[in-house]
Structure 1
């Protein structure tokens, strides 16, 4: 059995196990990119049609990162919120830099998008924080997904924090994937960086894999069931007798078939009637030709009519 070559390696391994699992970098980036590419057109539509902000949204990067580095690309001024899920208190960390906040405020409040927007070099106002929260809500809602693919985020997102509060907020470290979207106008561009711990992403992928396995086994089981052999029974109605007539039957008595008996045969399997059939003969062999599916309701109604 092999292990880390140094005490520092052992410490890193223990911390990694405590803070969260990590997966193969290629698979993590692939899962993050698939999530981002599915979300991109929906985010663009949501911002343009429902919010009324005519900004361009592009997928800028998808990379393996650390949760503690979620703020590393945003400079001194940024807005941030942390969204919990059913399995993690920090399932998604969203960070919006100052240029992106400027772009969205300008777009939402009717600014001239063909003119450069003044950079924000101060603490964000309440309105700017509300705009950042609105944008975070759209991204989180779309990236959350639905059904088995859902991250199961606890929405709506908490109100964004900024300034000293955002810079001092302690982030629980661990391996993560960082998805960076660019929000831009013809003259300005900013970023929204979304950091998702790999433990959350891996749990989501495990659910998807389980769903695929379940679907595959259901298909396999259904195929095997369809191959199973059952015994078919064809019965033909004879006639209607009273209880007295039935009690009077003796060995050797001959019963006459009704006029419609041959065309009212029933095909059944395991005590369940399936089809109404017609008896016939082909060469030396007797045959049953299926006429129509058996209808329980119709048979009940027919049974109410006098014989």
Structure 2
């Protein structure tokens, strides 16, 4: 791992460490809506045409959310899957609720679309979970895209989880765009919720590229005013020395400990327990100071720790 190569990359690194990578809400929603609208005819064709399920697919909502909220509106019975990509273990999270599963099961197995579907008020069966997996596969393929803007999802999708396994699955927190598709017949409807982390959109859809060439990305364009007004406490620490546990056990009150020769140039500036910059400790007039040298690189620090001196 190397240090960021430009000021804009450095700022992005600091932003990710503090609050999680996110984009301006309007741009994120616009990108999510464009993805949903492009995927809609493909999804309609795959479900109604190739699978033979006589259902209608529509785009219900596109909004800014957080990944763990994927299950909030799914009820007690639902199916879930998490799709990885080469750059992320959770590039897309998909949740389908029980009404949508019931609609798909009825449609796929020849049910009358004009008759109400019996609701699912129990744990999902093996067949119902398999149907959910099939729907997830079609949704993921429709949204994946191609070329430079592809999400590069690793397909086929992992088998859907249901029951306690789906309810207890830990979802990594982070800003996301929430895309909700409706699946319906004339009498019933349900939803498929798609959560795509904003860090994935930032990497694949160019949301954060507006001023990167000049390194002048405006932080206010990336966060709400509430976040911009929040304050954090900065802490500067300086490494003391590398000692054995035996040396430390022998410390006594009043003992003086020397700094290492390079300690002054390796102070670290942190906020919320996250190290942000490597600094140089100094003094300006009567005040002590730290001068920023470069952004903190956790990978390089780990390597340096393996090869001290």
Report the TM range for the smaller structure's normalisation.
0.5 to 0.7
Distance 1:206 1:32 in 2: 13
Distance 1:106 1:18 in 2: 47
Q: Tell me how many residue pairs correspond in the alignment.
A: 199
Distance 1:179 1:169 in 2: 20
Check conservation: 2:79, 2:161, Cα contact below 8 A: yes
Distance 1:134 1:21 in 2: 31
Correspondences of 1:237-276 after superposition (within 5 Å): none
How big is each residue's C-alpha offset from its partner over 1:185-206, in whole Å with a ceiling of 9 and x where there is no partner?
A: 0000000000000000111122
Could you say what the CA RMSD is over the residues aligned between the two structures, in angstroms? Answer: 2.1
How big is each residue's C-alpha offset from its partner over 1:139-170, in whole Å with a ceiling of 9 and x where there is no partner?
A: 00110111112001111100000010000000
Check conservation: 2:79, 2:95, Cα contact below 8 A: yes
Distance 1:69 1:18 in 2: 20
More RCO (CA 8 Å, sep 6+): 2
Rg larger in 1 or in 2? Answer: 1
Q: Which runs of 4+ in 1 moved over 2 A?
A: 14-20, 206-210
Q: Normalising by the residue count of structure 2, what TM-score does the alignment of the two structures yield?
A: 0.62
Check conservation: 2:27, 2:207, Cα contact below 8 A: no
Distance 1:19 1:125 in 2: 40
Unaligned runs of 5+ in 2: 1-13, 214-309
Check conservation: 2:23, 2:208, Cα contact below 8 A: no
Distance 1:203 1:190 in 2: 31
Match of 2:17 in 1: 17
Distance 1:141 1:51 in 2: 14
Please say which of residues 200-209 and 138-147 is displaced more in the overlay: 200-209
Match of 2:71 in 1: 71
Distance 1:156 1:19 in 2: 32
Match of 2:188 in 1: 188
Q: Normalising by the residue count of structure 1, what TM-score does the alignment of the two structures yield?
A: 0.62
Check conservation: 1:136, 1:157, Cα contact below 8 A: yes
